[in-house]
Structure 1
Amino acid sequence: VSMVDAGTVELVRSLGLEVVSSANLIQYFESRWTKAQLESHLEAGKKVDRVRREAFERIGAKLRAGERVTEWDVKQFILTRYREEGLFIDHGPDVAVNANASNPHYDPDQDSCSEIAKGDIVLIDMWAKLDQPASVYYDITWVGYCGEQAPERLKNVFGVVRQGRDKAIEHVQRAVAARQELRGYEVDDVARSHIREQGFGDYFFHRTGHSIGSDVHGTGANMDNLETHDDRKIIPWTCFSIEPGIYLPEFGVRSEVNVFVGEDEARVTGEIQDRIVLI
């Protein structure tokens, strides 16, 4: 499989030939998992979820002890725990505080990271796979608040994101259970429509989800009707993320789960965030 530049495509078309995308062919042969890969994903998920809980707990312990803790510190803690758990990651994870979380691609470094303090919002986007051949990724995003009670504004935004996420999950599950044809862009439409109806459409500016495989961004159908119009069918034995977000100037919220599609059912493969983590 290779890529072709637009000029070559136009040249071929000028000869009266039809150029056909190989996207569906690639998805069929590259994005479907084996049973062993599903098991590796589930095992990685247990480990990543454990490290995620520990990361939030570590932030809280540091704050209660009056010790300094930064985004970079939390990132390094996660990477250390990944190594101890036998997990592999080629970049990341992303730890973002307050306005930094308004950038979906924010990645702290040692020199420019922010300190975490009481009253802060903390977003952690983390992914990993077992450090073994043919393993596949598990990829999640959770949000926490450093305090005993999250502000109403944060709870409201999180609620809208959660509802959009859940509506998209339910749409996939109904379609798969009924063996109805479902395409990636349709899943994006469900989550995006809800967020738009709640008045936050302008603040959700990335696709709803991506294919997951041996690379964290796989080659299968993406849940996308914004960056592209992905009309590929969602097929059995594939996995993808559902991760709507709202990115306001002062903070960002995203909730990410992984959905595995079997022959006649779709399921979220790990823990689901129903409320903001109080750190």
Structure 2
Amino acid sequence: MSRRSLHTPAPSPSRLRARIDRARAAAAAADTDALLIAPGSDLRYLIGQAGGSFERLSALVVPAGGAPPALVLPALELAGFSDVPFDDLGVDVVTWVDGQDPYRMVADLAGRGGSVKRVAVSDTTIALHVLTLRGTLDAEQVLAGPIMRELRMRKDGDEIAALRTAAAAIDRVHARVPSLLRAGRTEAAVGADIAAAIVEEGHTEAEFIIVGSGPNGASPHHDVSDRVIEAGDVVVVDIGGPIPEGYNSDCTRTYSIGQPSQPDVLDTYAVLERAQRAAVRAVRPGVPASAIDAAAREPITEAGFGERFIHRTGHGIGLDVHEEPYMMAGNDLPLEPGMAFSVEPGIYHEGRWGARIEDIVVVTEDGVEPLNTQPHGLTVVE
């Protein structure tokens, strides 16, 4: 975890305190005695700062009972949390220096509300801390993800506004992509220009950049390479990153350098457009997440490309690029207003070319709001 997330806009103290209170109640409802929140997006959600994950232990201890939460922190990291209004949040700060035992501090704080039989630990806590804590705190350890996802899956109005801002920023970048793509340039060179544009358009950084040209477009998680883009190539550009408020963009469009050299591109791409459109139209409250995946998959399968759609249709987005809920087979979670996620079917012809269309959408009270507005068609770059 880098330090880029420090000293960035945070929700008001009252909103953060309400989140902490809901986390405490959710822990109690899950028959869990305390949450142990490591640095990362869960910590940022609760106190407005993500901190950093290092060999020294940092953890927010949130007892399910009446004892106040406490942030256990190496003393040398305290300055990085100077913007956090701990008093307003009702959070104690307990610092430690090298030579002291922070694991015992966490164990003692977790037990301030009474006996401790079960604690929920952040999903991303590094093994060094999980295993050392296991030897100190005699309690069952479970993942905090199922508890935290219930708090984070449904975005409030301010979070949705931030996601709209992020989507508009990445749309402006995609509007600039045709001026950067041309035959003779490498994927890496194009990617470097896109990274600069992502920051120029309002992000704090480029979290990820995929420029998959020709056969590289058939690899959904391709990055960039030294491959020289050629005339006739189909190029998948999947880009995103956080804005200062911490919320992320993620949007994919597919381009062609002149008319595509592969004879099946236009017909296949028309299938992909229908699939993405059908999946977005299927979004509404009460529909299971799996139905969004099925809606995208049906036109692709009917056209004979089912085996070439090799990933889920979408993932939630917020303070993390990938978070709950996931649009995939077997996930019967009913969609609810405020849920935000990607809709991104793809068709991939290994060794030849690939294509993907991705928008971020938000479930509304009676339907769906797509946040990305760039055209979905294959953009031919002359």
CA distance in 2, matches of 1:77, 1:43: 21
Equivalent pairs counted in the alignment come to 243
Equivalent position amino acid for 1:266 in 2: V
Partner of 1:72: 188
Partner of 1:205: 310
SS of the residue 2:208 aligns to: coil
SS of the residue 1:87 aligns to: coil
1:221 equivalent in alignment to 2:325 = yes
CA distance in 2, matches of 1:157, 1:2: 45
CA distance in 1, matches of 2:281, 2:121: 35
Going from structure 1 to structure 2, the CA distance change for 1:55 and 1:145 (only over 3 Å counts) comes to same
CA distance in 1, matches of 2:167, 2:207: 17
1:48 equivalent in alignment to 2:152 = no
SS of the residue 2:325 aligns to: coil
Partner of 1:8: none
1:233 equivalent in alignment to 2:334 = yes
5 Å-filtered alignment, 1:61-100, equals 63=183, 68-89=184-205, 91-100=207-216
Partner of 1:161: 272
CA distance in 1, matches of 2:198, 2:189: 14
Equivalent position amino acid for 1:96 in 2: G
Going from structure 1 to structure 2, the CA distance change for 1:168 and 1:23 (only over 3 Å counts) comes to farther
TM (norm. structure 1) is 0.80
Equivalent residues of 1:150, 1:278 under 8 A apart? no
Give per-residue Cα distances to partners, 1:68-113, cap 9 Å, x unaligned.
411001111111122223303464211010110111011124xxx2
Partner of 1:265: 367
Larger RCO (CA within 8 A; separation ≥ 6): 1
Give per-residue Cα distances to partners, 1:177-228, cap 9 Å, x unaligned.
xxxx21111111111122111100111110011111111102x221111xxx
CA distance in 2, matches of 1:167, 1:270: 16
Partner of 2:220: 104
- Runs of 5+ in structure 2 lacking a partner? 1-119, 124-141
Going from structure 1 to structure 2, the CA distance change for 1:35 and 1:160 (only over 3 Å counts) comes to same
Going from structure 1 to structure 2, the CA distance change for 1:269 and 1:150 (only over 3 Å counts) comes to farther
Equivalent position amino acid for 1:201 in 2: G
Equivalent residues of 2:207, 2:240 under 8 A apart? no
Equivalent residues of 1:204, 1:247 under 8 A apart? yes
Q: What is the aligned-residue identity percentage?
A: 27
Going from structure 1 to structure 2, the CA distance change for 1:3 and 1:86 (only over 3 Å counts) comes to closer
SS of the residue 2:326 aligns to: coil
Equivalent position amino acid for 1:270 in 2: N
SS of the residue 2:265 aligns to: helix
CA distance in 2, matches of 1:32, 1:202: 32
1:242 equivalent in alignment to 2:343 = yes
Q: Over aligned residues, Cα RMSD in angstroms?
A: 2.2
Q: How far apart are 1:232 and its partner, in Å?
A: 1.6
SS of the residue 2:377 aligns to: coil
CA distance in 2, matches of 1:89, 1:207: 26
- Runs of 5+ in structure 1 lacking a partner? 5-19
CA distance in 1, matches of 2:253, 2:341: 17
Partner of 1:121: 234
Equivalent position amino acid for 2:193 in 1: F
1:33 equivalent in alignment to 2:151 = no
Going from structure 1 to structure 2, the CA distance change for 1:21 and 1:185 (only over 3 Å counts) comes to farther
Equivalent residues of 1:209, 1:242 under 8 A apart? yes
Larger radius of gyration: 2
Going from structure 1 to structure 2, the CA distance change for 1:27 and 1:232 (only over 3 Å counts) comes to farther
Equivalent residues of 2:308, 2:349 under 8 A apart? yes
